[in-house]
Amino acid sequence: MSDEKYRKAARTIVKAGLIPFPINDTMIELLKLLIDEEHLPFVMAFRKKSSQTMEQLKLSSKMSENEIEMHVKKLTKKGFIFNQPSSKEVMVYRLMPLFMVGVFEYTFMKKLEISEENEKLAMLFAKLFDELRNFVQKNYDNIVPIYQNFPPIDRTVPILDKTTTGEELKILINKEISIPEEKVLPTQKVEELINKFEDIAVGHCFCRHHKDILGNPCKTTNIRENCFTFGKSARYTSDHGFARMISKDEALKIIKESEKAGLVHKAFHPHEDIERDETSICNCCECCCATFEMWRKGAISMINSTNYLSYIDEKLCTGCSICINKCPVNAIELNDDNKAERNAEWCIGCGVCAHFCPENAISLLEGMRKVYVPPPKLRN
């Protein structure tokens, strides 16, 4: 009976997110480690609607306000419930998914002690990600078309060392790549983005922290505390111990250190709507970022929004391969002339290649577009 209750709750939690995790023994074991059984009926109150007000929750859960507040108090500390007021200042309670953005991120955003329980937690998440890959690969032809309908999961905020504007972009991009017209262009400079917000919190990079606990530390950087949340997300993460409030000056200092390390700024927006203010920024490396890794392993598609595309001047390129080694999405390779050549369909416009090019042969061209690359189909 206990396992069946957890399975029903698991279906509700998976439904709250985008990623089609299989409901299996690993997920049940993980949820048992994270949620006490007494909270499962409350989780089930979100099965039809993942965001609810107190009045709605009273009806869906058949619980009193005091009972609801008891469950919320415990589950917010675990990252399962996001409780912040709406734009109309009405408190909204939202059930969070396991991943992107949810329990995994909040769990490893705070500094965890190296313990047997935390190592088990990290191992179960890693195992669940591997089983997601196996599930997607087994059902590849059915799942990948579903991914194609997803909105961009994140938005690249580039390192703007070298940019070029103009109509040149429309000529350089393959004709198959559409460039939608955006009504509102989101902030492109990370410094300006930081300065938009009064409330800024920073926590540990959950992906690098997860790898640390697994005994597989980052090969790119020693920076750990550089995961930002803004506005009400900052208030939520700081209130519940996932992050700490910081000044704009400290945030900008961390951003600059992250850029020097060649990390990719990835912004997240409410409901993947880039016309709304950002909720958070990750500073990602190729070796630890869960979304990069899960795409390469064949579990999820790479779905990204970007306003830039890298442009390589072959006359200046010496074929040193630095850009190839730095590109987080393997979008550059050497051609037959020993010159760097960029795959326009894969480029997320992060600017890392331009930032590190010793010959100044790479610049960024402007033009809002969606990057969609399906997961590789692996051989059985």
Shared domain check, 207 and 60: no
The model's pLDDT over 286-337, given as tens digits with 9 standing for 90+, comes to 999 999 999 999 999 999 999 999 999 999 999 999 999 999 999 999 999 9
Shared domain check, 308 and 165: yes
**What total of structural domains would you count in the chain?**
2
Distance, CA of 96 to CA of 358 (rounded, Å): 44
Residue 300 within a domain: yes
- The whole-number pLDDT of residue 162 equals 53
Shared domain check, 320 and 224: yes
Shared domain check, 28 and 169: no
Whether pLDDT at 283 is above 80? yes
Distance, CA of 252 to CA of 247 (rounded, Å): 9
Identify whether the C-beta of residue 110 lies closer than 8 Å to the C-beta of residue 237: no
Write down which residue in 61, 95, 129 finishes a domain.
95
Main-chain phi, psi angles of 308, to 5 degrees? -140, 160
Residue 362 within a domain: yes
Mean pLDDT of the chain: 91
Instruction: Provide the residue range defining the domain that includes 201.
Output: 142-373
Shared domain check, 292 and 362: yes
Shared domain check, 89 and 146: no
Identify whether the C-beta of residue 94 lies closer than 8 Å to the C-beta of residue 12: no
Whether pLDDT at 345 is above 80? yes
Shared domain check, 254 and 356: yes
The model's pLDDT over 179-214, given as tens digits with 9 standing for 90+, comes to 444 445 577 789 999 999 999 999 999 999 999 999
Distance, CA of 261 to CA of 241 (rounded, Å): 27
Residue 307 within a domain: yes
Residue 256 within a domain: yes
Q: Read off the CATH number of the domain in which 73 is found.
A: 1.10.10
- The whole-number pLDDT of residue 88 equals 76
- The whole-number pLDDT of residue 230 equals 97
Shared domain check, 310 and 193: yes
Helix (H, G, I), strand (E, B) or coil at 353: helix
Write down which residue in 60, 80, 95 finishes a domain.
95
E runs forming strands in 152-301? 154-157, 163-164, 200-203, 227-230, 244-246, 264-268, 280-284
Shared domain check, 146 and 91: no
DSSP string, 147-164: HTTSPPSEEEE---SSEE
Shared domain check, 161 and 91: no
Residue 116 within a domain: no
Residue 111 within a domain: no
Question: How many Å separate Cα 249 from the centre of its chain?
Answer: 24
- The whole-number pLDDT of residue 147 equals 94
Strand 227-230 versus strand 302-312 pairing type: unpaired
Question: How many Å separate Cα 14 from the centre of its chain?
Answer: 16
Distance, CA of 301 to CA of 374 (rounded, Å): 4
> What is the mean pLDDT of the segment spanning 91-107?
95
Shared domain check, 154 and 74: no
Ranking 12-26, 160-174, 268-282 by mean pLDDT, the lowest is 160-174
Whether pLDDT at 108 is above 80? yes
- The whole-number pLDDT of residue 182 equals 44
- The whole-number pLDDT of residue 173 equals 45
DSSP string, 87-112: TTS-EEEEE--SSSSSHHHHHHHSPP
DSSP string, 274-315: TTSPP-EEEEE-TTT-HHHHHHHTTSS-EEEEEEEEEEE-TT
Residue 53 within a domain: yes
Shared domain check, 150 and 79: no
Instruction: Number of helices (H) and strands (E) in the chain: give both, helices first.
Output: 16, 14
- Residue 153, amino acid: I
CA angle 100, 259, 203 (to 5 degrees): 45
Residue 133 within a domain: no
Identify whether the C-beta of residue 236 lies closer than 8 Å to the C-beta of residue 213: no
The model's pLDDT over 214-266, given as tens digits with 9 standing for 90+, comes to 999 999 999 999 999 999 999 999 999 999 999 999 999 999 999 999 999 99
Q: Which helix (H) or strand (E) holds 44?
A: helix 40-44
CA-CA distances (angstroms) from residue 74 to 83, 137, 312? 12, 36, 52
